[in-house]
Amino acid sequence: MVNKDKYKNFFDVLENNFQIAESVSKKFVEFCEIIQQSNEHFNLTSIKKMDDMLIKHVLDSLSIQHLVSGRKILDIGTGAGLPGVPLALANTESDFFLLDSNNKKIIFLNHVKISLGIENIFPEHERVENLDGKKSFDTIVCRSFSSLAKIYLRAKNLKKNEGKIIAMKGKFPKDELAELKTLDSEVRLHVEKLKIPGLEADRHAVIIY
């Protein structure tokens, strides 16, 4: 059972910045606890401390919540379920398809789905290039997956006509943006600086339309 007093500051940040209720906030803590418990077996993250996980995994994932739209969302290279699981917990009206080529990660995510009763996540063991032409999505998200050019090439045919790709990056990706423009001079994109409570490191979202 999650100790409300222990995580009061985290709950306050979620309520004030993302309008997330306490009942959902507890799920984020439980999610990070499952990562901690399973990390050694599944090799999920190098981040071990709970406080760091809540900031660098949960709050970081939620920093793009305002950019995500539509009913069908694809998380490419989801790994431990980031940003897909936090976004799914915060947006229960959307379905999140969590894609990873590592089957151990998918086994872990199915465990998360059952343990936390998250009905709107659908872990899938597959490479993104093998989805081409089979499905389409309103929003495609990825975090630390690949370069912008490779993300664009692999995901552009998976988004609906009015859909978008959101690539999460650290520092402003000047060189990657130039490479993408060279690849497709007509690509429409926007870069937004992200602010994560408690994290001073640079974070950006590249939105490709």
- Domain with residue 145: its CATH number is 3.40.50.150
Q: Say what the pLDDT of residue 144 is.
A: 80
How far apart are the C-alpha atoms of 122 and 116, rounded to whole Å?
Answer: 13
Within the chain, residue ranges assigned H as helices are 8-18, 22-42, 50-53, 60-62, 84-90, 103-116, 148-155, 174-183
Give me the pLDDT at residue 4, please.
81
Predicted pLDDT at 134:
76
Asked whether residue 169 is domain-assigned, the answer is yes
Regions in the chain scoring below 70 on pLDDT: none
Domain tally for the chain? 1
Residue 157: give the domain boundaries. 56-208
Report the Cα 204 to chain-centroid distance in Å.
13
Give a yes or no: residue 25 inside a domain: no
Buried b (16+ CB within 10 A) or exposed e, 106-119: bebbeebbeebebe
Give the amino acid at 81: G
Tokens of 45: 């993250």
Q: Is residue 185 part of a domain?
A: yes
The reply to whether 122 falls in a domain is yes
Q: Is residue 43 part of a domain?
A: no
